[in-house]
Amino acid sequence: MKQLSSVLLMALFVAFGLKLNAQTEPPLHGIAAKLLFIDYGTPNSRDSLKISNGLEVAYIRNISPWLNIAIPGKIGLATVNNNDERTTFGSVDAVLQLQYAQGDSRFIPYALAGGGITFISGEDAAVQLPLGLGLNYRVGENAFINAQAAYRASLAEQRNNIQLGIGLHFRLVPNPDHEIPPPDADHDGIPDDLDKCPDIRGVASASGCPDRDGDGVEDAADACPKIAGSPANGGCPLVNAVPQTNDTDGDGIANDKDECPNLAGLAVFNGCPDTDGDGTPDKLDKCPGTPGLKENQGCPVATSIDSDGDGVTDDKDECPNIAGLIPLLGCPDSD
């Protein structure tokens, strides 16, 4: 047992030394499954005991081109006392596999060493130390036929055993072309970092925000969210260039809905114009030719405006749209 322990420690030391000195590659994951042939007779000088069978499933992690770590789990029937009685067993191991692999070589031999816990029905759990050899024969880019032989030294009396296994080993290699998509909380196809409305499904033409009428103006900023219009007109339709029989001014708004049926205007102002584009329709704008503020009835705040050019500023001109005389506060004296 001391010699076996020394060999095991030496194998572990060499394996970790190779891991530290070898040029590592991206880790690969793998799985393996094997049919086991288990012999408790030969190692314990009881040649009359028959060979039994079990099943092994293992997870394998590639650490470097020369080293794997394997976690095999096993279950089966063991002939440990006599041929008329087969006992259920199970085990879990941690094993190092020191392999010789060159590129895409077809044959990959390896040596293994490790330790594990074995549970035999009706007995206490016991530590077993596997030491063995194996071979992976490549049948595909990441698929192998696997054969393995291991001597398992047990710390329990008369429980040393030999296990032979044959099965398949698959490497699970991630697809290098697969890209993880960026976060998209509302699943509208527009990444959150580019989406103005990341929690509401929208369209690309509105920077990820809803646009029910599809005019490129998001609903929150669209004065006519259910009618396709122009961004230049707040999302509402522009003046229709083709006069209709019931649309005298040809602004696309029927006369019965047009508050200024003889003047082409905007839908947002019910058909009335806004000549200076200040958001105050001309009929309510005291300065229709000069952009101003709604709060100031469409006129600018500045007091230097003189709409009729008579030298009297509009704020002091009682007739701001008709040239007049200064003594008459900007009104004319026709006689």
User: Residue 175's closest CA among 141, 137, 146, 145?
Assistant: 141
Is residue 247 a part of any domain in this protein?
A: no
**Spatial distance between the Cα atoms of 183 and 199, rounded to a whole number of angstroms:** 11
Residue 42 has what pLDDT? 92
Rounded average pLDDT over 116-128: 94
Among 119, 141, 172, where does a domain finish? 172
User: Residue 113's closest CA among 70, 166, 74?
Assistant: 70
For residue 130, what is the enclosing H or E element?
A: strand 126-140
Is residue 56 a part of any domain in this protein?
A: yes
Is residue 235 a part of any domain in this protein?
A: no
Among 172, 197, 213, where does a domain finish? 172
Among 136, 152, 172, where does a domain finish? 172
CATH code for position 146: 2.40.160.20
> What percent of the chain clears pLDDT 70, i.e. is strictly above it?
86
| Number of domains within the chain | 2
**Spatial distance between the Cα atoms of 268 and 279, rounded to a whole number of angstroms:** 9
Is residue 218 a part of any domain in this protein?
A: no
In this model, does residue 287 exceed pLDDT 60? yes
Domain containing 26: what range?
A: 2-172
Is residue 85 a part of any domain in this protein?
A: yes
Residue 97 has what pLDDT? 96
Residue pLDDT, tens place only, 19-64: 434 333 444 799 999 999 999 999 999 888 999 999 999 999 988 8
Residue 139 has what pLDDT? 93
Is residue 246 a part of any domain in this protein?
A: no
Is residue 282 a part of any domain in this protein?
A: no
Is residue 256 a part of any domain in this protein?
A: no
**How does residue 92 score in pLDDT terms, banded at 50, 70 and 90?**
very high
Side chain identity, residue 207: S
Burial (Cβ within 10 Å: 0-12, 13-18, ≥19) of residue 223: middle
Cβ neighbours of 141 (radius 10 Å): 8
**Spatial distance between the Cα atoms of 172 and 67, rounded to a whole number of angstroms:** 16
